[in-house]
Chain A
Amino acid sequence: MTTEVLSLAERKRLRKTKIRKHGLANIVTHWFNVFSWFLLLLTGLGILGNPDLKIMPQGYIDFMRNLFGSIGGLVETHKVFGLIWLFVITYNVLLGLRKYFVPFAKKRMLLTHDDIQWLKLYGQKLLGRKVTLPPQDAYNAGQKIYGYIVILGTVLIGTTGLIMTFGYLLPADMRWLLQWSRPIHFGAVGMVVAGLVIHVYMAAFFPEEKSAFFSMFTGEVDALYARLHHKKWYDEKLVEERDYEMRVRLEEIEAKEESMAELRE
């Protein structure tokens, strides 16, 4: 967060000004992902009943198995949920590839010098030192890194999930693929979940990120949040607004001149 002295009146004004951050496609995909992850985590943890692999207590595992009829029912359900998730996510990514993802990856995801600096200073902030964080783009360095983890995790989980779903079709000497898919699947989920804990806490409870949380419903953040947390992006938006304003004014003037010319004739 950049330290800025802002008057109360200014804060109140900025808080009421809204800036669009997420499109509808983004919001719907996000909540679909949330819903899928929730179901897949619940069913996945229920499958891991082997004492060597168990994460949840036996009571939970029995409950999930009873809920889905049997261990077979649970495994099949997990596979079906997984396939639906993978299909929708892949479809959305391909659909928005040129319009959203390529520009996003080029413009928003690369780590800049400020990001590296932010990471160093944020570590010191966590240790309790007072620091001034460098200005951040639409996503801060932490969010960018978690973005990489989620993308890598999604690819790994999807690939290994497909292998395990259709692995029974593999010839007998290819079963090592299935055997290696299990630790990779679990490890990738663990990697995403470790970050997910931070992601959910930040969104749901962290006061500074409140605006970001509501933007996942409305698509809009308030200007104060944008200015304090995503200064570079905020400035970019201000320039965009100014350009739009100037274009509209110019058009207005041109229209006026045209009507004057018509009158003269």
Chain B
Amino acid sequence: MANQVRKYGFVIDPKRCIDCRACLVACRAENNVPLDHTRIWVYDQGVQGQFPNLSQQFVPYNCMHCDEPPCVEACPSQATYKRPEDGIVAIDQEACIGCGLCIDACPYHARYLNPTTGKADKCNACIQRTQQGEAPACVATCVGGARMFGDLNDPSSDVFKALREAKTSKRLKAIGSDTGPNIYYINDTVDEQSLAITESIMPAADEFYKKFVIPAVIAAAGATFLGQAVAFAKQLSKGESEFEE
């Protein structure tokens, strides 16, 4: 968004991640995430290189808070929305009907269906904390400082400085579309292939709705409305007779 003052995003330095998963625990505690599910992940990319020069890379991962989020486009009730004030993609739990379209639409698979509420859930950058000026739980708890969060538009923010000083920076592109993800991976190469990033999926029901049902309904209701409008105009121009209906 052009006139957006703040643009919150993550900067992640995978080299600093030791796969302790304290961020997952912190997130679960902060956001009441049910067991067997998580809002954030740490992907293990396996051992790389030739002995004896081996390295292992871990990729902290969560919602990208995209500039053009496909989940927001998919949501029928606009329960999922991009906050205009800071760009965080959040879910209005009361408006969500749990249809799961956003879960299919997200090419990053950053959403899950919460079995306790029956509704979609995902990283909301801990808005309850960030609105108070605190860092999200995962960032605050990160021992190695791999996760950073802040206003990408503010030159004095941690993320801005980290990005400016980074040797390399990379955003993970979705297949088939550029959604403008707002996680920057710095100082390391991240192998996108291993992260199960896919295309944004539109289920057949949704395609049927948008391509067939809406035009059909508009055509049918429009036709009868026009027909009746013509009939009414004719009736008025004809005038009323006194003795016959």
Please report A residues at the B interface, Cβ cutoff 8 Å.
8, 11, 47-53, 55, 70-76, 164-165, 167-170, 172, 175-176, 178-180, 182-183, 186-187, 189-191, 193-195, 197-198, 201, 205-208, 210, 224-225, 228
Contacts and interface: CB of A to CB of B under 8 A. Distances in A.
Contacts, number: 136
Given A180-B205, A208-B245, A53 B97 contact: no
Contact of B217 (A75, A170, A176, A190): A190
Given A168-B119, A175-B99, A179-B101, A187 B216 contact: yes
B229 to A, nearest CB: 9
Contact of A206 (B73, B78, B235, B244): B235
A72 B97 CA distance: 10
Interface stretch (B45-53, B128-136, B176-184, B207-215): B207-215
Interface residues of B, number: 47
A70 B228 contact: no
B77 interface: yes
Interface string B229-245: 00110010000100111
Nearest to A49: B78
Given A49-B78, A71-B79, A197 B203 contact: no
A224 B243 CA distance: 12
Interface string B75-94: 11111000000000000111
Contact of A183 (B117, B208, B232, B244): B208
Interface in B94-108: 94-101
Nearest to B232: A205
Contact of B224 (A172, A189, A195, A208): A195
A190 to B, nearest CB: 3
A182 B202 CA distance: 14
B145 interface: no
Residue of A51, A75, A169 most packed against chain B (CB within 10 A): A75
A167 B224 contact: no
B206 interface: yes
Contact of A8 (B73, B213, B243): B243
B214 A186 contact: yes
Contacts of B208: 183
Contacts of A183: 205-206, 208-209, 212-213
Ranked 9 nearest A-B pairs via Cβ:
A72-B94, A190-B217, A168-B118, A183-B209, A168-B98, A175-B100, A179-B205, A194-B220, A72-B95
B124 to A, nearest CB: 15
Residue of B75, B77, B218, B227 most packed against chain A (CB within 10 A): B77
Contacts of A8: 243
Residue of B119, B214, B223, B232 most packed against chain A (CB within 10 A): B214
Contact of A75 (B97, B218, B228, B243): B97
